[in-house]
Amino acid sequence: MSRAVAGAVRESGRVTPPRTARIAYVLGIAPLVALAVVSIVTFVDGLNPGSIGFDFRGAFLPAADAVLAGESPYPPVEGPELASQTAYVYPPLLAYLVVPFTLVPETAASILAVLGVAAVLAATLVVLGVRDVRCYGAVLLWAPTTNALHMASPSALLAFAAALAWRYRAATWPLAASVGLAVATKLILWPLLVWTLATRRLRSTAYAAVIGGGVTLGAWAALGFDGLERYPAMLRRLAALEAEESYSLVGAASALGLGDVGARLVAAGLGVALLVACVAFARRGDDLRSFIFALAAALALTPIVWLHYLVLLLVPLAIVRPRFSAIWLMPLILWLTPLNGNGEAIQPLIPALVAAAVFAVVLSERNSYPAPASPAAAR
């Protein structure tokens, strides 16, 4: 036995790697941590205080004011607002959730929203049983986290909803409420309905559809259904304007030289393949991998992906690796890309590659999380 192997000792019930391995580990992750720290400091130093909570100020607060007045928060399909990246393009529920923030001045509301996003991200890790403070520190260094905080993005709410769905996957109503309200907030997480259906959580699937659809229609009814008819057309135009400039698979495929149609076919094909994998692993009784493939499909199938969407990666990481390891620092590589826009050269490809690496690691985990043993329990 070599000295390196013999140097491994047990402390507090776990194996401590040899000193040379620990040094190599630190030298390997140090550049990533330095990149993140320098990038965050540079970003904060150049930050205009008036841009704190950019999306919140530009889209959500005006939308909340509109619904409070009984008016539609949605812009005209062919108007210039959609090209400004400050238009409200979400289902109406989110606008109603923001209404309480209209009671305070804009700056105070934006600061409260940013603090709320930070609290929701921390709560996501808590819900999934992460107790290692190093994991919290790693997520704080992520570029998607900085982007989510700067924008006061609802992506944090989606990560929290996905965490709740996993945590309470054996309970009918909590699971249904988590998935239904998530889809009613933002459509991106609809593949979770495929997961609940494939794992034979039939009641939860039905109730989630009723909750999501009922809340959405109820919110639209309060507006006299103003904007509902043109909503699909608005989303299509938004995708045409932003998909190729975002970090979505459409944007990545476009960066590789594929045309618009080819890029969309590649993204759709991969998304469908991920959904097929979700169903296949559900049939094998592998709840964890089925859930992870549903999350991967959610990111693959949305035509527009900004950096803050990737806070969703903390959900599978927290489930599979609740203690800190090098994979928690993988998203720090995303500091090589712009926080807004998808950059140039290979930059549009980096988020897709990082997400693929994270999903590959968590999917390779040996531990399994089987679905409930009986259909009755699963429901």
Task: Give the pLDDT confidence score for residue 6 in this predicted structure.
Answer: 43
Q: What is the DSSP string of 103-121?
A: GS-HHHHHHHHHHHHHHHH
pLDDT of residue 341: 78
Q: For residue 135, what are the CA distances in angstroms to 72, 100, 213, 348, 364? A: 41, 32, 36, 26, 20
Q: What is the pLDDT of residues 151-196, one digit of tens each?
A: 999 999 999 999 999 999 999 999 999 999 999 999 999 999 999 9
- Quick one: pLDDT at residue 187? 93
Q: Are 176 and 203 in contact (CB under 8 A)?
A: yes
Write the DSSP string, 252-305: HHHHTT--HHHHHHHHHHHHHHHHHHHHHHHHTTBHHHHHHHHHHHHHHH-S--
Predicted confidence at residue 22, as pLDDT, reads: 57
How many residues can be counted in the chain?
379
77 phi and psi angles, rounded to 5 deg: -60, -40
Burial pattern 225-234, b for ≥16 Cβ within 10 A else e, equals ebbbebeeeb
Using CA of residue 240, residue 244, residue 247, residue 250, what is the dihedral sign?
positive
- The pLDDT of residue 3 is 45
Q: Is 11 helix (H, G, I), strand (E, B) or coil?
A: strand
| pTM greater than 0.85 (yes/no) | yes
Q: What is the pLDDT of residue 8?
A: 42
Ranges under pLDDT 50 in the chain:
1-14, 373-379
Burial class of 68 by CB neighbour count within 10 A (0 to 12, 13 to 18, 19+)? middle
Whether the CB-CB separation of 148 and 117 falls below 8 Å is answered with yes
CA–CA separation, 211 and 285 (whole Å): 27
| pLDDT at residue 376, rounded to an integer | 42
